[in-house]
Chains A and B, each alone.
Chain A
């Protein structure tokens, strides 16, 4: 069965960086892309971007460009999301999810999600 298992909660100081991992199993990792979505406490879902596990291509929301890097390691079927220059408004649960569309197709929906990783930014 398809599973995405994320790394554990993090506490960071303002200005620091965080790197969240998302280990995939139960499917051919390189056939799909991974997307990252975050949710601030009590707030809605915010799409951050995606990374292709096939060729490493990325597409980031303009808001995060220059501050986020999404990568994959095909040898371990793991995706990573690094966010730099953290501020208090980056406190959120960060989710990875599989983009259901095959590589090259329109990223229309997300069919499997990780359990979420809470990142707390506090001095």
Chain B
């Protein structure tokens, strides 16, 4: 299965909002509401931030939100903070009970 497509990098200043896109196909993102987003700081394990397109796990800031339209999902981070600087990965359930990840996006807080 092919990886989902994410921008390599995005940036924003503290307090601003940024949106990271995640483009798949009609076999994954477009077919299922099972898109999730993970945050990964250097040298650390990924952390679940959003699941099932727009749900936040307990303990995740409400500055993080998710959405989906057709084959593209998006993660929006509002009120950027220095601690948000990290790599972000989207993933989606896909055909044949597979899970596919995006290539990752490096968020820089200026």
Contacts and interface: CB of A to CB of B under 8 A. Distances in A.
- State whether these chains interact: yes
Interface of A: 35, 37, 44-47, 50, 59, 61, 95, 97, 100, 106-111, 113-116
Chain B interface residue bracket vs A: 20 to 34
Contacts of A106: 32, 34, 93, 97
B99 to A, nearest CB: 5
Interface of B: 1, 3, 32, 34, 36, 38, 40, 45-48, 51-52, 57, 89, 91, 93, 96-104
Contacts, number: 65
Contact of B91 (A47, A50, A59, A61): A47
B45 A113 contact: yes
Most buried by B among A37, A45, A97: A45
A44 B3 contact: yes
Given A108-B93, A109-B91, A95 B46 contact: yes
A114 B100 CA distance: 19
Given A95-B45, A113-B45, A47 B100 contact: yes
Contacts of A46: 101
Nearest to B40: A45
Nearest to A44: B104
